[in-house]
């Protein structure tokens, strides 16, 4: 996968600074992410035809996926530009003003978005697992997101902060002894570590709930809730909203698959 990066920050981030961050995230993908996930990508900073994108000009359309560095959360302008010029190409946005409100370096936001583009470019994968609320014993279908559950955790590569991410074992039904579910292997203040389909402090996860027939989110603490409130300002550009946009199609299929699982278990018990 070739992910093109377009710098429309209007001078707030220089190309030289962006290249430094891209180089660090390339290392993260190659040395940290791909050895676990067997999924990789090349990042490339593209030229731009103007400081502000032209909705009628296709000159900047390149790559298998695109991430835009936008100076402010101009949702209508940003999404309108993508919808007209890059139809069918997976995309993401890094809004500098939203990153500042989150108290998050924009390099972490870019790392987060890139890793999740690699993991589920079309934002349409769901994984069956337990409800994230430990008081709820039902099963749900989790979004296939790489960073949300550990989104408050970062580490440095060549002096650049990047996002922690979950490992494949995270999406399995049961915890293995001494199993690692996230790259950093974070130990929480209470001595616990990230459980399969769980959430670390400051993180949240989304899922499709067959019981309610809708997509929902679960956050572990007030910090995560506050971050979700900030992110809700960029509804159209958030991956979470794109999951929900698939819901009209996905719900009947998910319910059918769930019912087939129930029938198989029931038939097995009868036998």
More confident position, 121 or 24: 24
Query: 250 pLDDT exceeds 90?
Result: no
On the question of pLDDT at 270 being above 60, the answer is: no
Least confident span in 27-41, 81-95, 148-162: 81-95
Report the distance separating Cα 200 and Cα 107, nearest Å.
21
Q: What is the mean pLDDT of the chain?
A: 80
* 150 DSSP 8-state letter: G
Least confident span in 148-157, 182-191, 249-258: 249-258
* Mean pLDDT, residues 44-61 taken together: 63
**pLDDT band of 157, cuts 50, 70, 90:** very high
- Kind of pairing, strands 65-70 and 91-95? parallel
Distances (CA, A) of 7 to 69, 75, 232, 237: 5, 16, 23, 17
How does residue 129 score in pLDDT terms, banded at 50, 70 and 90?
very high
**Are 101 and 76 within 8 A, CB to CB?**
no
The pLDDT assigned to 257 comes to 39
Please give the pLDDT value at position 269: 39
User: For residue 171, what are the contacts with CB-CB under 8 A and spacing of at least 6?
Assistant: 127, 129, 142, 144, 196, 197
Q: What pLDDT shows up at residue 51?
A: 58
pLDDT of residue 173: 78
Q: How confident is the model at residue 80 (pLDDT cuts 50, 70, 90)?
A: low
Cβ distance 163 to 25 under 8 Å?
A: no
55 pLDDT above the threshold of 60: no
Instruction: Answer whether residue 79 shows pLDDT above 90.
Output: no
* pLDDT given at position 49: 60
Between 189 and 167, the higher pLDDT residue: 167
Over residues 232-251, mean pLDDT: 53
Q: Could you report the per-residue pLDDT of 207-216, keeping only the tens digit for each? A: 999 998 888 8
Q: Model-level pTM greater than 0.85?
A: no
Residue 100 confidence (pLDDT)? 86
Give the integer Cα–Cα distance in Å for 79 and 92. 10
pLDDT of residue 159: 97
């Amino acid at each position: 996968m070739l992910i093109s990066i377009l710098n429309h920050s209007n001078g707030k981030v220089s190309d030289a600074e962006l290249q430094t961050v891209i180089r660090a995230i390339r290392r993260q993908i190659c040395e940290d992410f791909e050895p676990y996930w067997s999924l990789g990508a090349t990042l490339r900073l593209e030229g731009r035809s103007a400081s502000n994108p032209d909705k009628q000009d296709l000159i900047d359309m390149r790559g298998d996926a695109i991430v835009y560095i936008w100076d402010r959360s101009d949702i209508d302008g940003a999404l309108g530009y993508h919808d007209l010029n890059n139809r069918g190409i997976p995309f993401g946005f890094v809004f500098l003003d939203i990153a500042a409100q989150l108290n998050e370096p924009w390099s972490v936001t870019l790392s987060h978005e890139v890793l999740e583009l690699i993991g589920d470019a079309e934002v349409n994968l769901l994984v069956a697992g337990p409800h994230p609320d430990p008081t709820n014993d039902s099963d749900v279908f989790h979004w296939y997101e790489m960073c949300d559950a550990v989104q408050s955790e970062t580490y440095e590569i060549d002096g650049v902060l990047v996002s922690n991410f979950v490992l494949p074992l995270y999406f399995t039904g049961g915890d293995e002894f001494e199993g690692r579910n996230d790259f950093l292997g974070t130990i929480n203040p209470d001595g616990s570590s990230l459980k399969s389909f769980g959430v670390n402090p400051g993180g949240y996860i989304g899922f499709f709930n067959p019981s309610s027939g809708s997509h929902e989110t679960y956050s572990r603490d007030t910090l995560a809730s506050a971050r979700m409130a900030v992110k809700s300002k960029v509804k159209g550009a958030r991956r979470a909203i794109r999951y929900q946009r698939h819901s009209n199609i996905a719900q009947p299929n998910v319910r059918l698959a769930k019912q087939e699982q129930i029938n198989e278990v029931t038939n097995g018990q009868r036998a």
